[in-house]
Structure 1
Amino acid sequence: MAGKQILMLVGDFVEDYEVMVPFQALQMLGHTVHAVCPGKKSGEKVRTAVHDFEGDQTYTEKPGHNFTLNATFEDIQPENYHALVIPGGRAPEYIRLNPNVIQAVKHFAETNKPIAAICHGAQLLAAANVLQGKRCSAYPACSPDVVLAGGQYADIAVDDAIADGNLVTAPAWPAHPRWLAEFVKLLGTQIIHS
């Protein structure tokens, strides 16, 4: 079976691991991933930030890599994609102000296509008003966004993930193994060990 077409919504200061790891891992599994940012074109870069947990009251932030976009946001048509990935970091906070981003997220929710969001990605889900009745994990500081959008905040371990219908969410990048495993199940990807 051919790989799926996956859309990834990013912006400047997206969390470094949360964009790099799924972007590369999903391609490794044979899927096509188009990473787009409103206002930027294919070949341009977004800056990333590394968020770490070092014993402070919240995460620390350090400069990450520059991540090269491989598609142009203004050219994409959500109906041409099978699934959506929303990394965290600071990007969801401001790309949710773009009505075309909101419409794209709504398309995936309304058509019941797989959506994987991690960390602050829940801010974009809340802004698109697609969390009603859904169990959703996120970075704990985003729990009010989830609740106010009608979702049920799932307070799970930082390395855990939760699936509810077409939605797979996790608190932060330490959950990548569980989060990506749940997402690829929704994609119908089979990994066979022999």
Structure 2
Amino acid sequence: MSHIKLQSERLRLEPYTIADFYFVKSLLQDPRVMRFISSDGKPYTDEQTIEWFERQLARYQTGRQTGLLKLMSHENDEPIGHAGTLLHELDGTIELEVGYWLAPKHWHMGYGREAAARLMRHAFEEGEKEIISLIHPDNVPSQRVAKANGLHWDRDTEYQGMLVSVYAGDLERLCRHMKREEMTR
């Protein structure tokens, strides 16, 4: 799995390397980014950041998930965030989530939607049937991204000590819808 490299119209998605640690640190220690990510809404400490990064690199070796992939802008070859598919145990079931985090200067530019759509198509091509997104109930912009990609609110539940809204979708239906949209452009 560590060799996954995907592209979309404006983005390149590729695995992190050790050289990317300080970029990741800039995301995990930014209070604006972490507001809806961590269970207490606070940025990670240096120790938590190191643990998170090590766990992330290990995800590249585990089957169905892509792990979080670095998002690189084609325009200026700059890292702008990360996105990927992750396996989570939720309410007693293993589910595949599509998720993304962007550096604040790249918010509201459609990158989250573009990355999530590309990852959902990849998951479908790999034989996955369903996808979810776990979104903090107050994170309205991410809820809009999920809805724009065809996911629907499914339920609210607790995940790792935090209340989350689960948005879900059938990948075959979603990919058919995306294909129709592409053909009408």
TM-score by length of 1: 0.32
In proportion to residue count, which structure has more strand? 2
